[in-house]
Amino acid sequence: MAEAHQAVGFQFTVRPDGVDLKLSQDVIKNIYLSGVTAWKKKAIQFKNGVLAGVYPACPSSWLIVVIAMMSSLYIRVDPSLGMIDAIKDNLPLSRDCMSVQTRAVLSAILFATGLWLFLIYLLRYTLKALLSYHGWIFESHGRMSTSTKVWLSLVKMFSGRRPLLFSFQASLPRLPVPRVDDTIRRYLESVHPLLDSDQYDQMEVLANDFKNSKAAQLQRFLILKSYWATNYVSDWWEEYIYLRGRSPIMVNSNFYIMDLLYVTPTHRQAARAGNVVHAMLQYRRKLERGEHAPMRALGTVPMCSTQMERMFNTTRIPGIETDIVQHLADRKHLVVYHKGRFFKVWLYTGGRHLLPSELETQFQRILNDNSEPQPGELKLAALTAGHRVPWARTRIKHFSHGVNKVSLDAIESAAFFLTLDDEPQGYDPAKTNSLDSYAKSLLHGKCYDRWFDKSFTLISYPNGKIGINAEHSWADAPIVGHMWEYILATDCFHLGYTEEGHCKGDENKGLPYPTRLQWQITKECQDAIGTSYLWAKQIADDVDFHGYLFTEFGKGLIKKCRTSPDAFIQLALQLAQFRDQGVFCLTYESSMTRMFRDGRTETVRSCTSEAVAFVRAMEDPSGTNAQRLALFRNAADKHQNMYRLAMTGSGIDRHLFCLYIVSKYLGIDSQFLEKVLSEPWRLSTSQTPQQQLNLIDINKFPKYVGAGGGFGPVADDGYGVSYIIIGEDLITFHISSKFSSPDTDSYRFGQHIQRAMLDIKRLFMPENDKLEQHGEFVQLKNGKKHI
């Protein structure tokens, strides 16, 4: 075969008169170019590492300090206060080795270097002290105090110019450990509306007993860890919440992100996959070099970028007691799954990334391949969808040697995993349940056509749509969303397609064909695969999903009502929950703590006493809209304050979680902590941020918006709700529950949310009349006026 000959770099023949050696010039050239690229990459990484290491200073500032110190030798002014002379007298070199002037110059350079490093640390710790101030978060939206303006100016001044992705890491403050009294007080306040008087009194007794007996000892160890580690929560959160979980990660942990809602750049599957994979390689190159701009709140306050390090070349490896996250250096291949076969595709040629047109060629070759799966290969990936312990044992027994190990290593060491799906998906307004089917496909697929252990699986559909299924332990949704926004913008606005829908560029038929991974799967291993598949299919079939687009109004109207869009939606969710279930429940909303070093998330307990009072007023027919509106504003303000406390390290749940972990290490039993950690979250919610990069102007290109993503239900008898605020006039909801629960129905809950949103909007109608008089309305369709 032609591809086999192309893969041969050299040939040799032993003759009686010697060895006849033939070298392939193309292969030697590729090896040379690969080496040049590798050294160039190392040089860029070293340069950017130095730039990030000395930030907020720059390397050239060292030369300025050295010149200033050298000048002092000639003008007979000693700014070192005698330290240069002290260094000169204590140099270990013999006086015979160099002249007095040389020793003076060397001493001045050493002092200048030390002074330069001192100034760097001074600037860095000054910036860290400034970033430890969070008063700006608690100020009313649109109003900034003089002290905050001064603080913001100082942050800008000390932040330097043109920071790289990891420039601010050393300047980020540590996550503070809250006072035990504050955490317990906030906890009791959060459960008060959910418990009757007897239950609350019992919980209060347990909380006070814990506070007065065991809390102080546990808190001391936690404070010690906060000084020793960069973050007192994140490593334990990753290990005990994610990696030690033995249940399937499909649906229960992994999440998904969708493609653009209204636009499909090309309907050619191989072409779309080619552009997207190439865009991912561009993103990865900038990530490895640290060239992405760091995310910053208010455009100034930096956020931690640690989670982004493991986006590519990362796999969750199953273990008997705990999994591990394996992150490797630059990987030069990916693995593609199509119709039960696994293919290895090289991403480089001649020391460069494959071009989009070359990737399209490779993916089209896979699509055209009609070979059959090997025995056991079709549903092999179901092992990653089932329970972790059987997968770990199967991996040790059947994939730790021989051809199976080689093929598994190829998957686990790949840059990422690509599935070329064989069933079209995507949002179609003409089809009622298209968004539901699309979400379920991304969340679990067929249970064997995604490698759920990879950091993410890219899914490409026959109609040109794409999506992502992401493993959760290594990072949170905003991190993957950051990459996804870059990919979609690059795909649509920078790479583009030909009129026929192919990738731009010339076709390269000289590339080696993708390589089929080989397997020798025994009957025992096939049985293990079948068992995992049955478990996974049972989980997948139980997912009741409903997604819909809320287009009645969006962020624009809510902000003109002078309230937070997130608080508005959360209160609508509380109203919908009460109408759906007739009771209130413990509600989880995810908030980020990335303003701290290695920060991840914190919980906002959205079901507050103020929210309960508002919901009851909405359901009380004797109440007036004025009373309801006053209660709404009170509840919204409370929610915003809770959210801000969570963002600034004063949340409830991560602190209690870490106290619980310390208690287990010390062998201390706490009935209070046991009860807190066992409480079910029957309503789990999350907002996926959009427009983190602002690469697409959605006012100019309103059709280029994504639907965001979602996750599976957290509780057996509860709901998982992901909502995405898109632009000014669109909010998307992704609702999940379980068919096996007789009390839940995702479609019904979606209807309750829609009705709740509209009911809350009506509370503002009297105020809207006043706003209309001031010209703050815009004309919308059907002749109706809205804010």
Residues taking part in catalysis? 472
Q: Residue 375's closest CA among 538, 524, 531?
A: 524
Torsion angle (degrees, nearest 10) of CA 409, 413, 415, 417? 40
Contact status, residue 314 vs residue 324, Cβ threshold 8 Å: no
Q: Where are the alpha helices (DSSP H) in 451-499?
A: 477-490
Cα gap 709→723, rounded to integer Å: 8
Q: Are strands 466-470 and 456-460 parallel, antiparallel or unpaired?
A: antiparallel
- Coil, helix or strand at residue 316: strand
Torsion angle (degrees, nearest 10) of CA 654, 659, 662, 664? -100
Q: Residue 126's closest CA among 137, 136, 118, 116?
A: 118
Contact status, residue 378 vs residue 443, Cβ threshold 8 Å: no
Locus of tokens 């003759």: 15
Cα gap 37→33, rounded to integer Å: 6
Angle between the N-to-C axes of helices 269-289 and 477-490, in degrees from 0 to 180, rounded to the nearest 10: 120
Cα gap 604→588, rounded to integer Å: 6
Which conformational region is residue 348 in: left (phi greater than 0), alpha (psi within -120 to 50 degrees), or beta?
beta
CA angle 297, 704, 685 (to 5 degrees): 55
Q: Residue 488's closest CA among 780, 685, 693?
A: 693
Could you tell me the two tokens for 456?
């993410």
Cα gap 147→152, rounded to integer Å: 9
Bridge partners, 337 (sequence order) = 342, 419
Locus of tokens 């070093």: 597
In angstroms, the Cα distances linking 327 to 196, 277, 454, 474 are: 49, 20, 10, 10
Cα gap 662→599, rounded to integer Å: 19
Residue type, 709: G
Contact status, residue 104 vs residue 84, Cβ threshold 8 Å: yes
- Coil, helix or strand at residue 51: helix
Compute CA 557 distance to the chain's CA centroid, rounded to the nearest angstrom. 29
φ/ψ of residue 322, rounded to 5: -150, 150
- Coil, helix or strand at residue 123: helix
Cα gap 338→459, rounded to integer Å: 10
HEC per residue, 64-91: HHHHHHHHHHHHCCCCCCCHHHHHHHCC
Contact status, residue 261 vs residue 465, Cβ threshold 8 Å: no
Cα gap 630→681, rounded to integer Å: 28
Cα gap 291→282, rounded to integer Å: 11
Which residues touch 699 (CB under 8 Å, ≥6 apart)? 727
Which residues touch 54 (CB under 8 Å, ≥6 apart)? 61, 62, 120
Contact status, residue 609 vs residue 191, Cβ threshold 8 Å: no
Q: Residue 739's closest CA among 712, 766, 701, 764?
A: 712
